[in-house]
Amino acid sequence: MKPESKSKAKKSKFRLLHQYYSYTGFYSFVWQAVKKALPYAIGLVILVYVFNHFYDINETLVHLTEILPVYGVLGFFFASETLLGLVPPEIFIAWAGKMSQPWLYLSILAVLSYSGGLVSYWMGRTITKIPSVHNYLEVKMEKQLKNSKKWGGFLIMVGAVLPLPFSIACLAAGIIEFPFKNVMLYGALRFIRFAIYGVLIFSAL
């Protein structure tokens, strides 16, 4: 096949993908989700900024990794990765880089992060069993849930790879009852993220 033909084929695939997302309402769904989440995100950023004005968050977390025993740091990290995952994993990766066996501890961190996300998924599934939440999701959020189930894999991959809270993505996947085996599959990309960050951070230490 000529280079021009290959280029046209790639363009046509992207065009078809764009058309599919347009017709199925993916772009509209993402935009509506962003608009609804934006006030909470802004509020959280303001809260973090105010707290950081009085206490250096990163310095506090680094100090925490210095005074806690190994099992304490790992336990704290697992709790963080299970409950919203708002503490940056990079701080713990830098901690692992200072250990006698950095790649071993990095591997443990990756497993804990992945496991924390799976626990968050089941927390989401548990939340939906609350009658009031179940009724709200089934009645008022029916359309949103239907769309979310279409793109649940995308949601998990974004949370696993990008610097976004992985546990929140898994929690959302649990709430929409996205298949657990798919969460395990897409969530495995989390290990790749930790490997890449490990290489970058360890080389800088």
109 CB-side CA count, 13 A: 30
For residue 21, give both structure tokens: 């997302």
Whether residue 170 contacts residue 117, with contact meaning beta carbons closer than 8 Å, is answered with yes
CB 177 within 8 A of CB 155: no
Give residue 109's pLDDT.
96
pTM to 2 decimal places: 0.70
Looking at residue 75, its pLDDT comes to 94
pLDDT at residue number 64:
74
Which pLDDT score, from 0 to 100, does residue 110 have?
Answer: 96
DSSP character at residue 66? H
How wide is the angle at C-alpha 45 spanned by C-alphas 43 and 46, nearest 5°? 65
Phi-psi region of 87 (alpha: psi -120 to 50; beta: other; left: phi over 0): beta
The pLDDT assigned to 56 comes to: 63
pLDDT digits (tens), the chain, 205 positions:
455 555 555 556 667 766 765 665 655 655 555 565 556 556 655 765 666 566 665 676 677 777 889 999 999 999 999 987 878 888 899 899 888 899 999 999 999 999 999 999 998 888 878 777 656 665 555 555 666 666 677 778 888 888 778 888 888 888 878 889 999 999 999 999 999 999 988 887 6
**What local confidence, expressed as pLDDT, does residue 138 receive?**
59
At CB < 8 A and 24+ separation, what contacts does 163-167 make? 163/88, 165/84, 165/85, 165/86, 166/81, 166/85, 166/113, 166/116, 166/117, 166/120, 166/190, 167/81, 167/82, 167/83, 167/84, 167/85, 167/116, 167/117, 167/120
Residue for token pair 């704290």: 76
